[in-house]
Structure 1
Amino acid sequence: MKTKNILNILSAAIFSIASNYLNAQEKNYVSEVWTADQGKNYKNPILYADYSDPDAIRVGEDYYMTASSFNETPGLPILHSKDMVNWKLVNYAIQDVLPKEHFSVPRRGDAVWAPSMRFHKGEFYIYWGDPDYGIYMVKAKDPLGKWEEPVLVMEGKGLIDSCPFWDEDGNAYLVHGWAGSRAGVKSILTLNKMNPEGTKVLDKGVHVFDGHDAHPTVEGPKMYKRNGYYYIFA
């Protein structure tokens, strides 16, 4: 009888503790929806999500951004904002990853690396490097509409992190980095000349930077021009 009473007491105690815990959890639950906008200021991260290697541009009063999507489809997410704090996912630039046969099975971490988004002569362009196949480009007049089929601008292994640049004189260029896992080097930035349409490179390119031991890894180059000077940020 004594043992039975002890078991009853223990059961009641355990039930009470569990009930109190569940009630506390329910009472104290707070939504974990992240809000970066704080009214007059904001807090980071502005996007509490996985948007690797983001690149953003401003067109008029609108901001657009894209990011790496690797082997996921649809890919190359298009995000829109009016203030660079509140972003909304509005579209995807590609529906398939090329070549389709290769990506008909999972290829974790391959395909779309570090895109660059630009606006040129009324059209939106996105360039990205596939470390196994080369540099691709896709474009659209309306970022919210259907994007054209991707074009292979530069074929080769180890080509990544590409960025286009259209100069005032009509010349077009493409700067890119190298994937050490494919090319054996990762400290070099290479600049190629492109055709004005931005659909293919016209030369073998020149190495404009080699970090050697001082900068063994250099990635994500972005090219600009200001007051007559050319800049590459990486």
Structure 2
Amino acid sequence: MAVEDWNTDASQNTTVGGISIAENCPAGNVNNALREIMAQVAAWTEDSGFQAQDDNLDALAGLTLAANRLLYSTGAGALALATLDPFMRGLLAAPNGATFCNGVGAIRVSALSLSNPGYVRLQLGTNQFLQVAWGTASVNGAGVNIIYPINFPTMGFPVISGGSSGANAQVNDPHVNASGIAANGFPVINPRGDGTTISWIAVGY
């Protein structure tokens, strides 16, 4: 009988590995049976994957687990429990930075490009954003369509500067065609009919 076949009723255990230990068995069988028992127990212990004695497991066994508690280490072979309420569990379970920042009410830079043209997009809440974009452009007599480096989630509102400072400059210098403002850009009109360089900035959501 192998160890897994041993019976809790002692009278039913009459052999060990084929060695008889029944009543009136040869005396030599007792020694051989004890050796066989030791071998089987050793093999069974190894095969069953028993965890060796460990200080960390001893520390764990000494704790009383309860709801809303977090296990943490206080040192080598020392463990303790801290309170972990549903709010904190929700933050730890956040699948990404956007969800985490929304959970704590933080402002998060969700995208940016510090170049020309460039932009920065701030996340203020779930699907709520504030975006700023900027750049420069050359404008000739036909005007130009400024395309943002990244679309605004909803709409951007641009202003421009540049052009000349001569007579009638405010009337004739390049300006935004407000009717063409969109989430992906805006048109610039140049009534002067010559080429000039403008700087632009747009703020939106």
Task: Tell me which structure has the larger Cα radius of gyration.
Answer: 2
TM superposition score category, shorter chain reference: under 0.3
TM-score when normalising by structure 1: 0.22
More helix by share: 2
TM-score when normalising by structure 2: 0.24
